[in-house]
């Protein structure tokens, strides 16, 4: 996450920032899966556990179903 934020800061492309909404996913489909949403900055200190991991950077405007899922997983729902 540090590398992504640093690269965007250096490029000044405006693609995302520390407040951009994101999803982190680990071991989806397994008993110990983890799905978390939050601003990009929250992933700097978040421990997702063992791999495999996926990371989704959301668009500026979310579809209403995406907004519902973002809010649901904001507290680290499984």
Distance CA(43)–CA(54), nearest Å, equals 12
- Of residues 29 and 77, more confidently modeled: 29
Residues in contact with 10: Cβ distance below 8 Å, sequence separation at least 6, in sequence order: none
pLDDT score at 51: 85
How does the average pLDDT of the chain come out, rounded? 92
Nearest alpha-carbon partner for 56 in 8, 18, 20? 20
**Is domain 2-73 given the CATH code 3.40.1010.20 in the classification?**
no
Provide the whole-model pTM.
0.85
Nearest alpha-carbon partner for 2 in 49, 77, 55? 55
Does the pLDDT at position 75 exceed 90? no
Domain ranges (residues) in the chain: 2-73
């Amino acid at each position: 996450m540090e590398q992504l934020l640093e690269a965007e800061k250096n490029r000044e492309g405006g693609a995302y920032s520390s407040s951009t909404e994101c999803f982190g996913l680990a071991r989806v489909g397994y008993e110990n899966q983890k799905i978390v949403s939050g601003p990009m900055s929250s992933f700097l200190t978040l421990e997702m556990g063992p791999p495999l991991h996926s990371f989704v950077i959301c668009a500026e405007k979310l579809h209403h179903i995406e907004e519902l899922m973002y809010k649901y997983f904001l507290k680290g729902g499984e």
